[in-house]
Structure 1
């Protein structure tokens, strides 16, 4: 999925498998550059919703979970997920914990890149 496709997900409202609204996409969490979770803010805080098996329909992002599962999911408060928080989320939704770590993605912000070594300056003649 390219960057523009990821950015378009921010224009979606998250809906459960039956079409019940959960909330707008606030942030995305990626693994290997692919969106894996959508952050949805509600009265109780921010919750992550799994995207695997989800489909975009018009401006809705239909996810393969029930609304009550999202309501009961662990809340995410910090800028990063600890190993324990990530494990809790996967366990809550009955998903297998992957080896790669999730990275937070914010709309319009480039993905982190590794710093490059400075180029050597050619000797003066």
Structure 2
């Protein structure tokens, strides 16, 4: 299978991450790739940045629906540095019950040379 095109990978930055039940997790702030394929989405929260596995995720109307529960994401190890050590990577894969691949995770930088179209914001309902 061919590697995804850069613009396809970059389009994931326009997505909000939802868990498998549709609960919001947060917007994609960064992507991490292994062998040129997106494997993880970084989501920033009050407690720091968390990586969420996106293998098997589905993109629907600027939403990235991931195959994990929000509770798993809330309990996941936080990442702060520009790179993951082998120990941090193993801890992350172990937390989500995934097999550590032979490829090293690499932080992806979004190509900002092309102007992006801002995504439409959903209207929010007032609290009742």
User: Could you tell me which of 4, 13, 17 is aligned with 1:14?
Assistant: 17
For residues 18-63 of structure 1, give each alpha carbon's deviation from its aligned partner in whole angstroms, at most 9, with x where no partner exists: 1100000000000111100000000000000001110000110000
Q: Which residue of 2 aligns with 1:30?
A: 33
The two structures have a TM-score, normalised by structure 1, of: 0.86
> TM-score, normalization: structure 2?
0.84
- List structure 1 segments (4+ residues) > 4 angstroms apart after TM superposition: none
Output the aligned Cα RMSD. 1.2
**Secondary structure of the residue that 1:37 maps to in structure 2?**
strand
| Matched position secondary structure for 1:88 | helix
For this pair of structures, how many residues does the alignment match?
110
Give SS of 2:28's match. Answer: strand
Greater radius of gyration (CA): 1
Q: Does 1:103 align with 2:106?
A: yes
Q: How far apart, in 1, do the equivalents of 2:89 and 2:11 lie?
A: 25
- Give the aligned partner of residue 80 of structure 1: 83
